[in-house]
Amino acid sequence: MTELDLIRDLLTHSKVIALVGASPKPERASYRVMGFLLDHGYDVIPVNPLKVGQQIHGKTVLGSLSEIEQPIDMVDIFRNSEAAAEVVDEAITVGAKSIWMQLGVINHDAAHKAQAAGLKVVMDRCPKIELPKLKSS
């Protein structure tokens, strides 16, 4: 499967997205991407242990992936590259189907670990950029 096919597959079939590193600040990319995904029909659950209980785009922020009470199709990571490894470990533990590391988030070891556990992985990409490309092709 090519990377483009993988991106198309994830953006077409993912419904529940856990957005790790969600921020309530409108100037932050995670805030804008979360709003974009919600506007495109995805069920986005914000995850940030420093913002638990706050609201972002009308959704209550949870502290960890393990608090999500439904199957997770995609874990969208807005953390630094090193921190992505911990998020991947938790995603594997909770049975997420895929990992999406945002622009600038590059952790090859974490990506290989996720793939070895059966998760699909996209790295150093942004769904807010990729989704319009898919719709125009």
From residue 9, alpha-carbon distances to 21, 29, 47, 56, 120 in Å are: 24, 23, 23, 27, 10
Question: Nearest Cα to 88, choosing from 63, 106, 111, 118?
Answer: 111
**Domain extent listing, the chain:** 3-136
Mean pLDDT of 79-90: 97
Taking only the tens place, the pLDDT of each residue in 27-69 is 999 999 999 999 999 999 999 999 999 999 999 999 999 999 9
Given a cut of 80, whether residue 137 has pLDDT beyond it is: no
Question: Nearest Cα to 45, choosing from 25, 27, 28, 70?
Answer: 70
Q: What pLDDT is attached to residue 134?
A: 86
Domain 3-136, second-level architecture: 3-Layer(aba) Sandwich (3.40)
**Helix, strand, coil percentages in the chain from 3-state DSSP, rounded to 5:** 40, 20, 40
pLDDT category of residue 112 using cuts at 50, 70 and 90: very high
Given a cut of 80, whether residue 130 has pLDDT beyond it is: yes
Q: What pLDDT is attached to residue 136?
A: 79
